[in-house]
Chain A
Amino acid sequence: MMSDTVWRMDSGVVFNIQRFSIHDGPGIRTTVFLKGCPLRCFWCQNPESQSGRPEIVFDRRKCTLCGACYAACPHGAIALEAGRPVFDRRICKGCGQCAVVCPSEARRLSGTRMTVEEVIREVLKDAKFYENSGGGVTLSGGEPLAQPEFARLLFKGCKQAELHTTLDTCGWAPWPDIEKLLEVVDLVLFDIKHLDASMHREAAGHDNLLILENARKISKLKPMRIRVPLVPGFNDSPEAVSAIAAFVKSELGSRDIDLLAYNRMGEVKYDFLEKSCVPLPSQSEDHLRMLESILGGQSAVPE
């Protein structure tokens, strides 16, 4: 069971390990999603990744009202009102006892504390696939650099096992942490969301100065690809994309740019966390093609 003891540096909070990741770096990969993110992008597709703590996600569609969670919660975060479990997130400690007993998987614990060794053991299960495809391990999130030491030890373990390592980052982190991590990184997937600092601040909670500065520094040290999550009405205009493309060309040395189409698959998770979601439409194929054409040879929309 979870307690408030001080965790050793070689463990961290992971909210998903996804095998057969085929769009996050070369070859077949396992993507390890670390919990916690310094940004608060309004379109975030993994809202459960924002907090660094384990937390309960609740899919009410699956709930059978059996009441097992009420009985199991040691902190009194679940009350029973007219036969319905009512959940108070403020009291919840994220211990996950309710998820263990939930028979219908309506309650799940997002985020478990895992040791480096546990994660490495998991990613090594697909070693044969990495070897045959030139794949490896990708760290994503959340933001991996929100747990810099854990991230570094994970990648160190991967390198010891001779696995290719890809860091998928939003770029908002202290440079010393990044620099240290880069020693064990083979490829960086670097998100650039907007070139306008104030728009960036408004949309993501921080401006982009540190991010762009880090991008410049990384570009001198490591292979990197730029990823632009296209957000309807925020940065999916020709102007916004052109500005990013120009920055990448002039300051990062013509890196490949991947335009990531907006998809609505994260919407439902806001419900799971009782948060409200900013509804956004998906982009049309035509619009994507048009934005892609702006990049010219610089890159494409991967799907």
Chain B
Amino acid sequence: MSAEKVISLAGDSPESRGKRLWERALEERKHAKLSLARALLVLESYRETEGLPAPIRRARALEKVVTGIPIFIDSDELLVGAFSAKPMYFEWYPEYAVDQEMLSQDIDRLLAENHSRKDIARIVHYFKDSCLQSSFFSLLDDAKKQRIKEACEDGAWVYRAKTTLDIDRGYHSVDYQKAIEKGFLGVIAEVKNELRDTRIHDDDSYRKVNYLKGLAIVLKAGIRYAGRYASLARGLAGKSSGSRRSELEAIAEVCDRVPAYPARSFHEAVQTSLFLHVLIHLESRAQESPGRMDQFLFPYYQKDIREDTLTPESALEILECFRVKLSTLRLLSSIKYNEIVSGEAQYHNVTLGGQTADGRDATNALSFLFLKAAQRTRTPHPTLSIRCHDKMPKDFAIKGLELVRGGLGFPAFFNDKSNIQWLLSIGAPLEEARSHCISGCLHSTVPGRTSPFDVLFISIAKCLELALHDGFDPRTGKQLGPKSGEFNRMHSYDDLVRAFKAQVETFSREGGAIISEQKIARSQVMPAMISSAFTDDCIKKGKGCLADGARYNIIIQAPVGMIDAADSLAAIKKCVFEDGAIGRQELLDALAANFNGNEPLRKRLIKAPKYGNDDDFADGIAAELYGWWWKMVSEIDGPYGVKQLPAPYSISVHGAAGKRIGALPSGRLAGQPLADGSVSPCQGADMNGPTAVINSAGKIDQVPLFGTLLNMKFHPSAMKTDEDLKKVYTLIKTYFDYGGKHAQFNVVDSKTLKEAQKQPERHRNLMVRVAGYSAYFTELGPNVQDEIIMRTEFTSGG
């Protein structure tokens, strides 16, 4: 493969354009504010379109935004389009959710220079009752409202249903290839054909026609958006000289051409991709993924290289610009001032490698270039995912691990075998299954054919807490779950497991029903127009991708804290039911006191078998729970005739949910985060190293699960040489032989080590590995720890 050559050719120029742009963006980030440009345009449009059908309203709103929002071209940029009116600013999506906190005094310091609180007041006034979130909740009866208040984010946090409607959740990936190959005009022609063939004769056909008209509006708006950039670039070119002048002229030409017409060059194809991605976000802020960019861009890359109009270096520069662009997307969802700066782009996944539809290795020169672009810019987004399979070149995996070693936390590695098997099991044809991309964090979806998701996050660990208290939540003092039996009177471990499962099932069904309704409300009120234009078979059916326009309609349940529950059950089984070392009331009392005054009892619980140590006692419990859970969830109805899918992952919910849970029998203290991911051990519980973790995770039957998440941390000493990287790759490969779905590695930085000094218990597993010697970090003396921290800082630059 020529890819190797490309990489070495690119070298490590520290002053790449992408790096320059990103450094500037980081500087701008410090002063970035909340822009109301988008929200005010949406408000204006909504006033003009009152009474019109939702698809038209939404289309007209996007049209207003993209034709009215201020645009800019930064001095070095090669790609244009932006998620906000100014670099790194936040835009607001009040039509999804309005938070009264926006009216508080604090907003002044965040508000962009040209806006006032009066503007905010106007927006809040208009949307506070009619935004998606308000309209959904206002239609619920009082009992249901009360229930959500008590069981969800504002109460016990058994599941999340209150703050789910603030944006389009996304997690899908649209058909970029179609946009690039046909151009928006080609898609408009498709829409027009469908309109021509559709006679209005009933409700459905009326709705269909409106939908199609809406699609035509957003597609034309997208073309106008590019046209604005063409004019701006031309204007700027007139004022520039030298090479920047020709760059600006080139940008103008590209924007004249795309996304209206089929792309002819690599530059045009990437620009089409960016426009499409930006349009999706300006409409709904969906967390959509560009998918298999190394595949759909490759023909353009090859052609340009062949015709000598592109070099690997210039292609790399364009990819770097793409990365920087995606990293400028900010997230302002629910308005919590203290969290405002932490919100960022999140699940904008680019998938690399994998297989072709006919089962050949798909890794190409661009796959390597995408890694290189990330290495050079060091931007956090888009995150990269590598699809692993038997025919994958090992070099590619090793290059990926080199990037991991650099401390970016990606690429993540995915197992084709297990993921394709899953797609086949839900009815995907083999060729589509092989063409899947990773969207969201870790979901293998068929791009351009899959609906955005709705997700029920459910706190499994909370369900265990409820089961130990007969359905009563000790924290909020409410009887939330069914009366599943008093722990004190249970005769056996099996009684407890039954009670626990009853709690989980109750809330899975209850929460599943609510997010199912939410998905329908979303589809009715916010019918993701741009995404629908690029999702089969929305045009043909005249239905949105959130509704059953998409071929694969997805709604998922994500259990958080399954491993905490397994560890807790293992501890109870061992200490209470088998050894009789701890009494049931004694345990409940200790939990209620957060183990205060009973540290020995807590230590005993911590000593009990824990998942992640290749110990069948605890691993068996985790495997059994997952096996039961996915079958139970798969029978719960979703919207549009589909069932809910079992998709265990946690993003950052393990932190939020953990705050609302008291001490657990696993020994975890009240309020601490739950285990992250879905098959990762609890923090600090795995004491036998990564092979034991992988053996444990391998005992869970993962094929029926729609993605799993295994996070592993390494001290840089385990990833120092190429030989080390090969060994880490063997970990991945072996895990995938077992049927594991996803593995992601983090190189521990000095910050984590300092944390470990303060909280040794949660980092017990952290190992420093050097030739001839290895040691657990937390066991070392403080001065030696300090020395290792210093050396870690030295080798990783942070």
Contacts and interface: CB of A to CB of B under 8 A. Distances in A.
Nearest to A131: B734
A265 B768 contact: yes
Contact of A271 (B607, B690, B692, B781): B781
A258 interface: yes
B772 interface: yes
B125 interface: no
A140 B771 CA distance: 12
A265 B780 contact: yes
B727 interface: yes
A104 B761 CA distance: 11
A198 interface: no
Interface string A120-143: 000001101100110100001000
Given A103-B600, A103-B603, A128 B787 contact: no
B721 A302 contact: yes
B787 A268 contact: no
Contacts of B294: none
Given A104-B599, A125-B692, A303-B721, A258 B730 contact: no
Q: Say whether chain A's binding surface is mostly helix, strand, loop, or mixed.
A: loop
Interface string A7-37: 0000000000011111110011000000000
Nearest to A301: B771
B479 interface: no
Contacts, number: 111
Interface in B710-752: 717-718, 720-721, 723-724, 726-727, 730-731, 733-734, 737-738
Nearest to A272: B779
A48 to B, nearest CB: 12
A229 interface: yes
Contacts of B730: 27-28, 129, 132-133, 135
A45 B726 CA distance: 28
B692 A19 contact: yes
Interface string B667-696: 000000000000000000000111110110
A152 B772 CA distance: 21
A28 B694 CA distance: 13
Contacts of A271: 781
Interface residues of B, number: 42
Given A19-B691, A23-B769, A104-B603, A265 B727 contact: no
Interface in A50-74: 59, 64, 66, 68
Interface string A268-303: 100100000000001000000000000000000011
B143 interface: no
B718 A22 contact: yes
Contacts of B727: 22, 27-28, 133, 135
Contacts of B787: 264, 282
Contact of B731 (A104, A129, A258, A260): A129
B692 A303 contact: no
B699 to A, nearest CB: 12
Contacts of B769: 22-23
Contacts of A302: 721, 771
A126 B733 contact: no
A227 interface: yes
A23 B724 CA distance: 8
8 contacts: A24-B772, A45-B773, A125-B614, A125-B695, A133-B727, A260-B773, A265-B780, A268-B779
Interface of B: 599-601, 603-604, 607, 614, 688-692, 694-695, 717-718, 720-721, 723-724, 726-727, 730-731, 733-734, 737-738, 768-775, 779-781, 783-784, 787
Interface of A: 18-24, 27-28, 45, 59, 64, 66, 68, 103-105, 125-126, 128-129, 132-133, 135, 140, 168, 227, 229, 258, 260-261, 263-268, 271, 282, 302-303
Task: Identify the 6 closest CB pairs spanning chains A and B, nearest first.
Answer: A103-B603, A133-B730, A23-B771, A20-B689, A103-B600, A265-B775
